[in-house]
Chains A and B, each alone.
Chain A
Amino acid sequence: MFPQAVLPSPLKEIDEVVESSRRILELKHDWDGEGASPIAESTWRRAVEFLRGTAYTLWTKHNLRMERPSLVPVADGSIDLHWKLSNRELLVNIPTANDEWASYYGDNRLGGNTVRGKLDTGAPNRWLFVWLTE
């Protein structure tokens, strides 16, 4: 990995998303007024390690830039990583149980060229993000 001070700009952008997402760890029980669960630090760490690792691999091995996702808390304590691009949309949900695989869905925003399934966040998953940048 690169030292923080010399991060190439595509990785710096992802790092900014990660840093600004830290605030979701401050959400208390019932943060939405409908009984939402807080976000566990382990779930957040898994989400950001997946994000940073994938962005790093894409950039260093494929010279591809990962677009900024939204990192959003879900009421059940899981985390959504959401990319909405001009011709692609991808949603990856990081569940609360650390041994459970993440689920994902993506398409071309018209319901075609779909991808869906479960993925191991510890694996490279390069194909999915190459698909996202096509």
Chain B
Amino acid sequence: MDWPAEPIPDEDRLYYRVHRTYVRLDEIEPAAFANRPKGSKSMSVDGEKYTSPEETRARARKPIENAVVQFVAGQVRAVPGQKVEHSPDLLSGNRSHSDVIGEKTPEVRVHLSRIHTLVIPLGQDIHEAKQSNL
């Protein structure tokens, strides 16, 4: 299997899982947008070329506890200190895996909380999610 890293155009969408802890009355807290695991320099997202929001949610350990939001790559790149790079994950078989690289300061997290769109709300059944995103 050979999955070279590819350029991600500015107009491409990126999908990101958000745990229920961060969802307050359908708004996403800036705390959701963090580099993880602890010590990591990037936030994992999935690029639209090789995945869907439903697949992004299905990759969670407990999908039902997660919502999915989307970003536009160029808007993320406009946030201070952030780069977007494709980084396919051979180990987990996730060709869409990409990174938002850069320190997630309070300023960055507030900006990320303003540029996302909720695509799968919390608690939505996976089949409903598929229908509403068709």
Given contacts A75-B34, A75-B36, A80-B31, contact A34 B19 (CB under 8 A): yes
Grouping DSSP codes into helix (H, G, I), strand (E, B) and loop, the B interface class, with mixed when no group exceeds half, is: mixed
Complexed CA–CA distance, A42 and B133 (Å): 43
Near B by CB (< 8 A), chain A positions 18-76 give: 27, 31-37, 70, 72-76
Taking A34-B19, A91-B106 as contacts, is the C-beta distance between A76 and B34 under 8 angstroms? yes
Number of A-B contacts defined by CB within 8 Å: 70
Q: Which 7 A-B pairs have CB atoms at the shortest separation, nearest pair first?
A: A33-B61, A35-B37, A105-B107, A105-B106, A32-B19, A91-B106, A72-B31
Among A36, A80, A104, A116, contact of B29 (Cβ-Cβ < 8 Å): A80
Chain B neighbourhood of A31, CB < 8 A:
19, 21
* A132 at the B interface (CB under 8 A): no
Contact A105 B110 (CB under 8 A): yes
The total of chain B residues at the interface (CB under 8 A) is 24
Docked complex Cα distance between A53 and B21 (Å)? 26
- B residues near A (Cβ < 8 Å) are 17, 19, 21-22, 24, 27, 29-31, 34-38, 60-62, 65-66, 105-107, 109-110
Most chain-B Cβ atoms within 10 A of its Cβ — which of A32, A36, A76, A84? A32
B34 and A33 within 8 A (CB): no
A interface SS class? strand
- Inter-subunit contact A35/B31 (CB<8 Å): no
